[in-house]
Amino acid sequence: MTTIVAMAQVERPKLVVGLVVDQMRWDYLYYYYDKYGLGGLRRLVDEGFNCDNNLINYVPTITGIGHASIYTGTTPALHSIAGNDFYMDGKFTYCCSDPSVKGVGSEGSAGEMSPRKMTATTMGDMLKVATDFKSKVIGVAMKDRAAILPAGQAADAAYWWDNSVGHYITSTYYMEDLPKWVKKFNAENTWNPGKDIKMSPVGVEKTFLMAQAIVENEQLGQRGECDMLCISVSPTDAIAHSFGTRGKENYDVYMELDRDVAKFLDYLDTTIGKGQYLLFLSADHGAAHNSTMLNNHRIPAGGWSISDARKRLNIHLQEKFGLEKMVPYHSSYRLFLDRPGIQKAGLKLQDVVDEAIAFLKEEKDLLYVIDYAHAAEAAIPTSLKEQIINGWNAQRSGDIYCLTKSGLYDFVPDNDYKGTTHGAWNPYDSHIPCVFFGWHVKHGHSSRTNYMIDVAPTICAMLHIQMPNSCIGNPITEVADQDMK
Ligand SMILES: [Zn+2]
């Protein structure tokens, strides 16, 4: 005789909170550990489950792609967000721009945004489908792409900051008018119109104030349904780009983040209940350390300019084939050939690719130059090959990938250069935090390698919902199976 033990009802947390910190290196959990207070980022590590070896399994490691990949559980090859900007329909285009929608809360191009260029669904979309669209899913960030891509296609709302007016806006993709409570929030929280709020820790504070206002006014987690809030913290990226991964500016913004996380957790404990919400912390990518600082300690680092290399390449290809600007674009170590022009001239694309690669192989700062369409045949380490293939969207990512020597990034720093950047395959750019906290999560850690795209299937497994439609990640069983023990 078979005994069937059924659950009274499918158990889900009241609220899922995604917290993605732009450019947060994994080691910031430990570099600042002693400086964090007990109730913020340190509480997540001390009470949550820390997947200590969480890696990005594609290149380039940049913002739009990162936010899309975490929430879709897949990579640019399949979600089609092939960069912050990428090639589409014969021209270069921004990942969220959508001229068919208008801004709500401000006029101008800052509001003409939607997730329509993303071809995959997110875990929020799947949560909504699983509950017959009773769950609410909302995204918030300073950057439009960091609010829009995580929240997904079927989201109730995404709110981002328009610097020109100094408050939150959305687009007609989601609604025709801002809710009353958002208008009130904006009136009380306007900050220096015309200034970039991402350059100030105030941007972090305003992100969490808005997150709290969303929970309060939309009653997230308080309606008898599992809801989802996708919070992305953007100023951490802008500040480190200008001032680097060390020093006062980076310290200040992480301390602000830590205080705001602590307050937000306290608020959720009171409003939703301790252990009643499930939160994860991750990042869209990491960052290299400042090259001058590394050089001062004899560590090889520096810059290689793909812009300059493209100029040299265009001159060479013109001499060889008689056509001008055969490589009209570059972006994040990728070169985009003028496919229509090459076809029109009766040339074979492969002949031009081969000539370009032979020329670029003379660049002393490049380790490898990869023919994207034939990356599987490249004689490079398997993990790098996978990262390149996972990151390549055949329609949008271009034709050639340039792999620099480790420590070199696409920038030429001068001696006074204080900042940093990201985008490469290397651990400094691809090793990011992955901490689960709250509902059905016991304290612990794992050093087993898992990937950024494993977060979505892990959350979906815990919620007993279908994973997103292009998901190729795997549940992190150390976390997902905890409620089975
Ligand atoms: Zn970023």
Same-domain status, 382 and 234: no
Same-domain status, 378 and 444: no
pLDDT level of residue 8 (50, 70, 90 thresholds):
low
* pLDDT tens readout for residues 20-51: 999 999 999 999 999 999 999 999 999 999 99
pLDDT given for residue 6 in this prediction: 61
Output the CA 84–ligand 1 centroid distance in Å: 9
Output the CA 273–ligand 1 centroid distance in Å: 31
Same-domain status, 76 and 117: yes
Instruction: For residues 2-25, give the mean pLDDT.
Output: 85
Cα gap 276→440, rounded to integer Å? 9
pLDDT given for residue 278 in this prediction: 98
CATH of residue 477: 3.40.720.10
Same-domain status, 191 and 324: no
Q: Of 346, 374, 404, which residue sits at a domain end?
A: 404
Confidence check: pLDDT of 163 > 70? yes
Q: Of 404, 434, 462, which residue sits at a domain end?
A: 404
Instruction: For residues 205-209, give the mean pLDDT.
Output: 98
Confidence check: pLDDT of 148 > 60? yes
* pLDDT tens readout for residues 457-474: 999 999 999 999 999 999
pLDDT given for residue 33 in this prediction: 98
Place of tokens 């609410």: 136
* pLDDT tens readout for residues 389-427: 999 999 999 999 999 999 999 887 777 889 999 999 999
pLDDT given for residue 441 in this prediction: 97
pLDDT given for residue 233 in this prediction: 98
Output the CA 457–ligand 1 centroid distance in Å: 22
Output the CA 145–ligand 1 centroid distance in Å: 10
Same-domain status, 264 and 339: no
Considering the domain boundaries, does residue 195 fall inside one?
yes
Considering the domain boundaries, does residue 480 fall inside one?
yes
Considering the domain boundaries, does residue 411 fall inside one?
no
Cα gap 480→278, rounded to integer Å? 12
pLDDT given for residue 484 in this prediction: 61
Same-domain status, 162 and 42: yes
Confidence check: pLDDT of 482 > 90? no
Output the CA 184–ligand 1 centroid distance in Å: 29
Residue 140 and residue 103 in contact, taking contact as beta carbons nearer than 8 Å: no
Considering the domain boundaries, does residue 134 fall inside one?
yes
Output the CA 481–ligand 1 centroid distance in Å: 31
Considering the domain boundaries, does residue 4 fall inside one?
no
Cβ-count burial of 84 within 10 angstroms (0-12 exposed, 13-18 middle, 19+ buried)?
A: middle
Cα gap 254→267, rounded to integer Å? 20
Considering the domain boundaries, does residue 149 fall inside one?
yes
Q: Reduced to 3 states, what is the DSSP secondary structure of residue 409?
A: strand
Place of tokens 């998901």: 471
* pLDDT tens readout for residues 89-144: 888 999 999 999 999 999 999 999 999 999 999 999 999 999 999 999 999 999 99
* pLDDT tens readout for residues 36-91: 999 999 999 999 999 999 999 999 999 999 999 999 999 999 999 999 999 998 88
Same-domain status, 169 and 309: no
Largest CA distance in the chain: 81
Give all strands of the β-sheet with 167-171 in edge-to-edge order.
103-104, 167-171, 157-162, 137-140, 227-233, 15-21, 277-282, 434-438, 49-55, 444-451
Output the CA 22–ligand 1 centroid distance in Å: 4
Instruction: Residue 30: give the domain boundaries.
Output: 15-287+425-484
Q: Residue 268 has which token pair?
A: 């959720």
Q: Which residues are known catalytic residues?
A: 63
Output the CA 288–ligand 1 centroid distance in Å: 13
Confidence check: pLDDT of 3 > 70? no
Question: What percentage of the chain reaches a pLDDT higher than 90?
Answer: 94
pLDDT level of residue 5 (50, 70, 90 thresholds):
low
pLDDT given for residue 412 in this prediction: 78
Question: What percentage of the chain reaches a pLDDT higher than 70?
Answer: 98
Considering the domain boundaries, does residue 2 fall inside one?
no
Q: Residue 331 has which token pair?
A: 């972006």
pLDDT level of residue 208 (50, 70, 90 thresholds):
very high
Same-domain status, 72 and 195: yes
Confidence check: pLDDT of 1 > 60? no
- Looking at the structure of the chain, the number of domains it has is 2
Cα gap 263→15, rounded to integer Å? 17
Cα gap 210→188, rounded to integer Å? 11
Same-domain status, 387 and 317: yes
Mean pLDDT, all residues of the chain:
96
Instruction: For residues 228-254, give the mean pLDDT.
Output: 97
CATH of residue 377: 3.30.1360.150
Same-domain status, 473 and 342: no
Output the CA 482–ligand 1 centroid distance in Å: 31
* pLDDT tens readout for residues 342-371: 999 999 999 999 999 999 999 999 999 999
Is the model more confident about 207 or about 482? Answer: 207
Is the model more confident about 207 or about 8? Answer: 207
Cα gap 322→346, rounded to integer Å? 12
Same-domain status, 193 and 337: no
DSSP 456: H
Considering the domain boundaries, does residue 9 fall inside one?
no
Same-domain status, 118 and 193: yes
Output the CA 332–ligand 1 centroid distance in Å: 13
pLDDT given for residue 414 in this prediction: 78
